[in-house]
C-alpha cells in the first residue's frame, strides 16, 4: 500500500437543507414521541435513515401506510400538490421538511404557471425532487434529462416558456443542456437565480480543485444520493480515479495500489462521522498526513417550521 496523504475537500457533507430536515424529524420525535411518519427517506443517506428509524421514525412511500391522526413529515426533496392535498384531507399533523431552495422552485413554477407559462425541467426522471416539482402543476411541464431530449421537445407555445432545474444536478451538465435549450428556444426564460443550490455548486467546485491535486478521490455518500453521485462523476471527468462509498467498510485496498495521495469529500446528505471513519481506515492503510483544502465556509441556516421551534 502506498497511501501517504489525505486531502479533505472544503466544503463537504451536510448542507443547511439537510441539517434542517434531520432536525425536524428529531424535534418531532422529542415533542410528539414515536412513531413519526416521514414521506420518503428524509434525505438520501442510509446511515441517517437507519439512525432515525432506531429513534422511531417510520419512512413510507404511500400515505395509505400512515395511520389516522399521525404526525407526518415531508422529506427534504419536496412533494407534489396531490400528495400535499391528500395529506391535508386525511387530517395528519404535517411538518414540511422540503429544502427551502426546492420550495423556491415550486413557488416559481406556481407563479409563472398562473401567468400562462409552460416549463422545461432539467432533471432525472423518477427522482423524488423532480416528481415533486413536476407535480406542482397539472400539465405544461416537460422533463429533459440530456441534450438529446431537447430535440424532441414540442411545447404548445414558445412565447411563455421557462426553465427550472433539479437542485442537485451537475453544474456543467446543466449548463450544457441549458445552452441547447436556449439555442432552440431563444426567448426562453431562465431562472432568476440558478436553481442548482449553493451547496451542490460549492461541493462540485471543491471537487474540481481537489481532483487536480490527488491520485484518487473517494466520495462518501449513498447510491440514492444525486448530489453524491454527481461528485463521483465529476472527479472521474477531471481525470482522477474516483469511487463512492456508503461507509468505510466499502473501501477496497486494490483501489489504492500505486496511489500516494487521496482526496476525500462527502455529498450534502452524508454526515461527517462517516468521513472520519473513512479517515481512520485510510490511516490504517498507511496515510500519515491528513489536511484540509482551503475552501468556502458555509454559514447558511434555515429556520424550523412553527410548532418545532424552541420557543414554541
Residue range 243-261, pLDDT digits in tens: 999 999 999 999 999 999 9
Q: Which is nearest to 216 in space by CA: 233, 243, 187, 241?
A: 241
Cα–Cα distance measured from residue 120 to residue 132, given in angstroms and rounded to the nearest whole number:
15
Domain contains 312: no
Of 197, 80, 60, the closest CA to residue 131 belongs to: 80
Q: What is the tally of structural domains in the chain? A: 3
The C-alpha cell 404535517 sits at 94
The residue-averaged pLDDT of 33-53 equals 98
Asked whether residue 302 is assigned to any structural domain, the reply reads: no
Average pLDDT of every residue of the chain: 95
Catalytic residue among 108, 118, 129, 131: 129
| pLDDT of residue 38 exceeding 70 | yes
Same-domain status, 115 and 171:
yes
Q: Which of 50, 74, 98 is the last residue of a domain?
A: 98
Residues 115 and 137 in one domain: yes
* Angstrom distance (rounded) from CA 114 to CA 247: 46
Strands of the sheet with 36-39, listed across from one edge:
57-60, 36-39, 71-74, 93-96
pLDDT at 311 over 70: no
Indicate if 129 belongs to the active site. yes
Q: Residue 127 domain-assigned?
A: yes
Percent of the chain with pLDDT over 70: 98
Count CB neighbours of 267 within 10 A: 30
The boundaries of the domain holding residue 36 are 16-98
Residues 268-303 pLDDT 10s: 999 999 999 999 999 999 999 999 999 999 999 999
pLDDT at 142 over 80: yes
- Quote the cell numbers at residue 50: 437507519
Q: How high is the pLDDT of residue 312?
A: 42
Q: Max alpha carbon distance in the chain (Å)?
A: 62
Are 52 and 63 in the same domain? Answer: yes
- Give a yes or no: residue 68 inside a domain: yes
Long-range contacts of 180-187 (CB under 8 A, 24+ apart): 180/147, 180/150, 181/120, 181/122, 181/144, 181/150, 181/153, 184/150, 184/151, 184/153, 185/120, 185/153, 185/155, 185/158, 185/161, 187/158, 187/159, 187/161
Amino acid at each position: 500500500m502506498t497511501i501517504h496523504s489525505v486531502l479533505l475537500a472544503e466544503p463537504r457533507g451536510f448542507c443547511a437543507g439537510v441539517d434542517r430536515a434531520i432536525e425536524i424529524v428529531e424535534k418531532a420525535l422529542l415533542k410528539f414521541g414515536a412513531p413519526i411518519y416521514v414521506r420518503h427517506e428524509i434525505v438520501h443517506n442510509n446511515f441517517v435513515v437507519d439512525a432515525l428509524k432506531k429513534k422511531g421514525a417510520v419512512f413510507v412511500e404511500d400515505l395509505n401506510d400512515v395511520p389516522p391522526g399521525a404526525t407526518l413529515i415531508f422529506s427534504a426533496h419536496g412533494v407534489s400538490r396531490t400528495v400535499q392535498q391528500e395529506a391535508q384531507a386525511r387530517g395528519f399533523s404535517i411538518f414540511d421538511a422540503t429544502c427551502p431552495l426546492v420550495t423556491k422552485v415550486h413557488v416559481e413554477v406556481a407563479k409563472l404557471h398562473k401567468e400562462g407559462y409552460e416549463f422545461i425541467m432539467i432533471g432525472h426522471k423518477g427522482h423524488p425532487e423532480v416528481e415533486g416539482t413536476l407535480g406542482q402543476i397539472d400539465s405544461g411541464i416537460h422533463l429533459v434529462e440530456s441534450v438529446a431530449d431537447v430535440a424532441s421537445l414540442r411545447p404548445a407555445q414558445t412565447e411563455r416558456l421557462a426553465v427550472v432545474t433539479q437542485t442537485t444536478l451537475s453544474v456543467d451538465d446543466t449548463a450544457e443542456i441549458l445552452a441547447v435549450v436556449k439555442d432552440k428556444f431563444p426567448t426562453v426564460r431562465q431562472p432568476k437565480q440558478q436553481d442548482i443550490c449553493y451547496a451542490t455548486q460549492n461541493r462540485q467546485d471543491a471537487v474540481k480543485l481537489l481532483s487536480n491535486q490527488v491520485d484518487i478521490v473517494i466520495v462518501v455518500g449513498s447510491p440514492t444520493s444525486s448530489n453524491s453521485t454527481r461528485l463521483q462523476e465529476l472527479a472521474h471527468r477531471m481525470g482522477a480515479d474516483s469511487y463512492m462509498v456508503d461507509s468505510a467498510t466499502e473501501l477496497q485496498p486494490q483501489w489504492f495500489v500505486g496511489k500516494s495521495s487521496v482526496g476525500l469529500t462527502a455529498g450534502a446528505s452524508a454526515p461527517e462521522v462517516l468521513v472520519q471513519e473513512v479517515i481512520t481506515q485510510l490511516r490504517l492503510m498507511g496515510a500519515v498526513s491528513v489536511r484540509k483544502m482551503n475552501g468556502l465556509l458555509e454559514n447558511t441556516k434555515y429556520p424550523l417550521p412553527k410548532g418545532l421551534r424552541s420557543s414554541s
